[in-house]
Amino acid sequence: MDHKLSRLTTEQRYELVAYLDGELDEEATARIEKLLAENAVARADVELLAATYELLDGLPRPKASSEFTEKTLATARLAEVKPDITQSPFYRALQQSLPYFGWAAAMIVAGLLGFAATYRWVPQPHDELVHELELIQQLDKYQEVGSIDFLERLASEEPLLNELRGHSRAPATH
């Protein structure tokens, strides 16, 4: 027989209490009896627990009043009864207003989709101005020309066009 002095696990301590209360099955009882035969710490713990039980048995037992018993049983019954949430005023109000929330959400989604669609795919008046920005920036020069006929005649007269080009460059080189 090995006389180990090893500490008991929490599970073994719980089994010792159950052993003293007679709550273990045969296999667990045999396991605890083997532990008690081999482990002095387990034997000491069982002796302390047994002594504690004897001291507790010697204490007078308080008697609960009938009122305490009734209140405890009523509280236990109330804990078992689960309230029906569908009968609460909040649930009924929520159930009645749910279609309104649905319609409001649908209107918001439809509004957002409409805004996104028009913002992205419907042309705006300022889009053309942005597209023609380069032309607008040069508008003063184009107005000085007057008409397209003048530009076409100028393009056909190569010497005059070269002279104008040279003349417009001359001040830049000074």
How do the pLDDT tens digits run along the chain, 174 residues long? 445 567 888 888 888 889 888 888 999 999 989 988 988 888 888 898 888 888 877 888 877 777 888 888 888 777 667 777 777 888 888 889 999 999 999 999 999 999 888 877 877 777 777 777 787 787 777 777 777 777 777 778 787 777 777 765 544 444
Distance, in Å, from the CA atom of 30 to the CA atom of 19, rounded to the nearest integer, reads 10
The first and second tokens of residue 58, run together, are: 């010697």
Distance, in Å, from the CA atom of 51 to the CA atom of 43, rounded to the nearest integer, reads 12
pLDDT at 5: 62
- Is residue 42 within 8 A of residue 36, CB to CB? The reply is yes
**Partner residues linked to 4 by β-bridges:** 39
pTM above 0.75, yes or no: no
pLDDT at 99: 92
- Is residue 49 within 8 A of residue 17, CB to CB? The reply is yes
- Is residue 46 within 8 A of residue 20, CB to CB? The reply is yes
- Is the Cα dihedral 59, 65, 69, 74 positive or negative? negative
